[in-house]
Chains A and B, each alone.
Chain A
Amino acid sequence: MSIMKLSMGPQHPITGHFRFILDVDGDLVLKLEPDIGYTHRGIEKLAEKRTYLQNLPLIERVNSYCDSVGTMLGYLEAIEELMGLEVPERAKYLRVIAAELNRIASHLYAACLFSVATGLETMLMWPINDRELILDLLEKLTGQRITYTYPTIGGVRFDMSEGFKEEALKRLDYLEKRTEDYYKMLLWNHTFQIRAKNVGILKPSDAIRLGIVGPNLRASGVKADVRKDEPYEVYDRFDFSIPTGKNGDSYDRLEVRFKEVEQSINILRQAIKDIPKGPIKKWAPPIVPKGEVYTRVEAARGEFGYYIVADGTMKPYRLKMSPPSFRNLIALPYLCRNVPLADVPVIYISLDLIPMDVDR
């Protein structure tokens, strides 16, 4: 039989900004080759032209798609480590609150994309609507819906407004109840299970060998989370667990995300309860002393690494990022071998890749 080349995307409801080049034999996908670079803006190069402070909105847009706070924290950690700057306690808590809210929003977004891939339209609307509730909270905290530039060098930009705590607790309670509905509607749904179970199985040994990070790694059963392994900000003060999956299939990858939402709610409750009073920002000099530093944080999609070389001026000499989606992308061609064509969107969405993140 003859092998045909099929091009999928970027004008496609599922692929986002990617293009996949598939080798198909009838309905069977023999090989998948991702064609990346549709959103390459050259952030790493642009960052060398701007000052550390001007870089903040730039860095944020690496993944402003859903997870801007998680993305920025690593960069700020790196700079603050170089400067030897100690961030005020309250600012650290506020950063954690914003980051966890962002993580919830991001995972809900992933869930709604998953429902599109499996053709469940109702579950596209539900998580998106609940995500709006979280975005409302974030808007109350930061003044924007998805691009906040909320944390800044030496702290955060705004303090909590009045009534934020009560509102947040109320909405978190609602969301916790809502996750049960998600289990009923999506995860325990027979149709969904047929589509997602035993599709794209990633064994733990393979996941480690390929360098997969974040929820995808945890879904394969490996307990690895930067928040626990190498706590940054104030994560060491909270009591939370790391959910892991069993089989490492697409179903587990979504289930882990839902469990993480529950854990994030858990963290948020603790953070809102024991947030201390005090200043939210410390003055930081514009010049960063000479040195090199590598930091990593746990963004919503996994481990986000930053490597900064500072040469004692106002601008970075070199800024290298290793975003989670780029590291997870390698799993896609690996999993999409000898699978039916209909499974490709499911596997792709289950990895929760953001093209913007891959290309920078």
Chain B
Amino acid sequence: MLEKIGKSLMNIKLLRKIFNWGRAWSLWSVHLETGCCGPEDMARACARFDTERFGTLPFPTLRECDLIFVTGFVTKKMAKRLKLAYEQMPEPKYVIAIGHCSISGGLWWDSYSVVQGVDEILPVDVYVPGCPPRPEAWIQGIRMLQEKIAKEGLKK
């Protein structure tokens, strides 16, 4: 019964818009560093760049997060954990691939233990190139994701 009411409420365009707005500006990210873009994750979250202005805050609990930054290369051992972390997150969830390594393997294109592009294991929403991308580029990535959510948002 409740589900039905929820669904019919979501048919109202204005309500959907408000929902998407809230979703886009409260993207909490998972604390999972996979590669050496990690320190820039710290830099973008702390003083000076402070992505909390855009509602993106690293949060320890997976269950309350909606965003994964794949920070750099993903080794085969890490890939399993990354997938596990992704599966534990509640819907809706988004992935931003940071750095050349997570886009295409980058510097480790011929390595035996690195996954060649994280899109082999996770559906990626935004790609941010760089080695490592500057914090400004991270912010642009976040903004792009917000625009994407505002445009598509809830399917129904």
Residues of A within 8 A of B (CB): 10-13, 16-17, 37-42, 45-46, 49, 57-58, 61, 64-66, 109, 112, 124-126, 128-129, 131-132, 135, 145-147, 356
Residues 32 to 66 of chain B near chain A (Cβ within 8 Å): 32-36, 38-40, 42-43, 46-48, 58, 60, 62
Sample 10 A-B pairs with CB under 8 A, ordered by A number. Answer: A13-B58, A16-B33, A16-B38, A46-B111, A49-B110, A109-B42, A124-B46, A128-B47, A132-B47, A146-B132
> B110 touching A61 by the CB < 8 A rule?
no
Q: In the complex, which residues of chain A have a beta carbon less than 8 angstroms from the beta carbon of B31?
A: 11-13
B102 shortest CB reach to chain A, Å: 13
Interface status of B145 (Cβ within 8 A of chain A): no
Interface status of B9 (Cβ within 8 A of chain A): no
**8 Å CB contact of B78 from A10, A42, A45, A66:** A10
Size bracket of the B interface: 20 to 34
- A interface majority secondary structure: loop
Q: In the complex, which residues of chain A have a beta carbon less than 8 angstroms from the beta carbon of B73?
A: 39, 41
> B110 touching A65 by the CB < 8 A rule?
no
Q: In the complex, which residues of chain A have a beta carbon less than 8 angstroms from the beta carbon of B19?
A: none
A57 nearest in chain B by CB position: B107
Q: In the complex, which residues of chain B have a beta carbon less than 8 angstroms from the beta carbon of A58?
A: 107
B62 shortest CB reach to chain A, Å: 7
**Looking at B58, B62, B77, B81, which has the most chain A CB atoms within 10 Å of its CB?**
B77
B88 nearest in chain A by CB position: A11
Q: In the complex, which residues of chain B have a beta carbon less than 8 angstroms from the beta carbon of A128?
A: 42-43, 46-48
Additional 15 contacts, C-beta under 8 A, given A41-B113, A46-B110, A146-B40: A11-B31, A11-B32, A11-B85, A12-B60, A13-B31, A13-B60, A17-B38, A38-B81, A39-B34, A41-B111, A42-B111, A42-B112, A57-B107, A146-B39, A356-B35
Contacts A11-B85, A41-B108, A57-B107: A109 and B39 contacting too (C-beta < 8 A)? Answer: yes
Q: In the complex, which residues of chain B have a beta carbon less than 8 angstroms from the beta carbon of A112?
A: 42, 46
B130 shortest CB reach to chain A, Å: 10
> A11 touching B62 by the CB < 8 A rule?
yes
Q: In the complex, which residues of chain A have a beta carbon less than 8 angstroms from the beta carbon of B110?
A: 46, 49
Q: In the complex, which residues of chain B have a beta carbon less than 8 angstroms from the beta carbon of A42?
A: 111-113
Give the docked Cα–Cα distance between A140 and B113 (Å).
Answer: 35
> B47 touching A17 by the CB < 8 A rule?
no
Contacts A38-B77, A38-B78: A145 and B134 contacting too (C-beta < 8 A)? Answer: yes
